[in-house]
Chains A and B, each alone.
Chain A
């Protein structure tokens, strides 16, 4: 492999990082907080490649044969991430790809959560609800109408509303979910698997226990179908 090809591959890795940032597709794979680092990495790689290309053009071209490697073909593997992140762009993980563990810890130590936002039915994220139901010493969810958004997960005993939670990147994805019950649960059950819904309801007190694997239940009063959001993960 010539130095020119190597430099071009470095340039392409940098450009593909930039394309992910511009198109927002990096959110399929990592958290938004990686954005500045990703931009910095793209800039460094592009600068490195341009500097090497310029120097090779200025020096006698093709004369540089040092750096004979054992397996130069391995560098071609860099085409794989370039192809996947810029051309193929695999979709964000759904319920299937996420590890099926609950987010809550076994008998988590109780602590005081900040109060829920004011209003008739504030929007709360599903992992937040799971944590509050399991560990909130102030019981902020009791008798409060809340709004949740997520996708339907069908199982033998009914329908859940789920959200994929990532800590760092897609490799550590976990599924946070909540069982649906109450007046409008039948309507939610009528939708096929992986339909994005917004539901309004009240978390049933005392449903987040060891016997339910810390998956709480919400009594749903209203179900609205929504479009899949641009960023499907919760954090």
Chain B
């Protein structure tokens, strides 16, 4: 507590000097603004996420969740994928919710599928995509299909090869069984917020630094090469860490690229980016994050490419 007070006083005293420093260095100022942009934009969605996560902790026990879901794991994964459409919002909110649903791993595959599908196929995101690509409804269909298939594939992969010991971050479970629902709710929400938000800071900082470091010619030089374009757009989705409600507009503006690489950008972005990986490392554990992130990246890129070729009709 004393350390906190001392840092706050130090901050207040040096605020003027720091503002002047930031204003005087163009790159620092851009990075600081982008960092604040990502954090402030994510904050309401994160709070919504931890409130839902707290409600799940208070009202939905693991065995009740297991009773709700279909008995067959594969069917449960498919239900979770489609159910993702019910949580409108950015991807930041879905990580704590999924961690809470994951519990001790009984319905793990379904929880992970939900985490990947919720930010990508909810109505807000699909409407935003339709607005960003006027006159190209195939783009909305392709995005929805590719994201859903990616989410379900990852759930099934987890079902088959996932190991419970990779998830080494434990949830707080209030020790006393007589704790009131209100106590369980506030403790779970408080814990999840602290953990997810501090990793969000890491992810937002990485996105801001990379944004400043990214050379502007990247976009111009990949226009002619399809495979290069797909790979670059997939990596760019990871690096830029855009909110899933905004990425369609950014993809629409990259007019020198064909539709296919832009679809890859839209499918990879909500599933895996540096901010999400940081948050998954915080909520699930590092052994989980270093396996789940790259696997999602490969699955999302391949699925988006295949769906793109089929739905968008070739590689124009």
A residues in contact (CB < 8 Å) with B: 2, 4-10, 12-13, 17, 20, 26, 28-30, 34, 37-38, 40-41, 44-45, 48-49, 51-52, 55, 66-67, 69-70, 74-85, 87-93, 96-97, 99-106, 108-109, 111, 166-174, 214
Contact = CB atoms under 8 A, between A and B. Distances in A.
A48 B37 contact: no
A47 to B, nearest CB: 9
B241 interface: yes
13 contacts: A10-B193, A41-B48, A77-B198, A80-B205, A81-B201, A83-B11, A84-B35, A84-B36, A87-B11, A170-B33, A170-B38, A171-B241, A171-B246
Interface of B: 1, 3-4, 7-8, 11-12, 15, 18-19, 22-23, 26, 29-30, 32-41, 43-44, 46-48, 51, 134-135, 169, 172, 175, 182-183, 186-187, 189-191, 193-195, 197-199, 201-202, 204-205, 207-208, 211, 216, 219, 240-243, 245-247, 249-250, 252-256, 282
The 8 closest A-B pairs by CB, nearest first: A170-B37, A168-B246, A169-B41, A90-B32, A37-B44, A169-B37, A97-B30, A87-B15
Given A2-B1, A87-B12, A30 B40 contact: yes
B175 A66 contact: yes
Q: Helix, strand, loop or mixed for chain A's interface? A: helix
Contacts of A171: 34, 37-38, 41, 207-208, 211, 240-243, 246
Contacts of A6: 190, 194
Name the residue in A52, A76, A79, A87 with the highest tally of chain B Cβ atoms < 10 Å from its Cβ.
Answer: A87
Contacts of B207: 171
A29 B208 CA distance: 13
Contacts of A2: 1
Name the residue in A44, A76, A97 with the highest tally of chain B Cβ atoms < 10 Å from its Cβ.
Answer: A97
A13 B196 CA distance: 13
A29 B2 CA distance: 31
Q: Helix, strand, loop or mixed for chain B's interface? A: helix
Contact of B135 (A38, A109, A169): A109
B166 to A, nearest CB: 14
A170 B219 CA distance: 19
B137 to A, nearest CB: 12
Given A10-B194, A172-B250, A93 B242 contact: no
A8 B175 CA distance: 23
Given A10-B190, A29-B33, A70-B169, A41 B243 contact: no
Contacts of A89: 19
B190 A172 contact: no
B198 A75 contact: yes
B18 A88 contact: yes
A170 B36 contact: yes
B7 A103 contact: no
Contacts of A83: 11, 18
Contacts of A52: 186-187, 190
A174 B242 CA distance: 13
Contacts of B19: 87-89
Given A13-B197, A81-B201, A172 B249 contact: yes
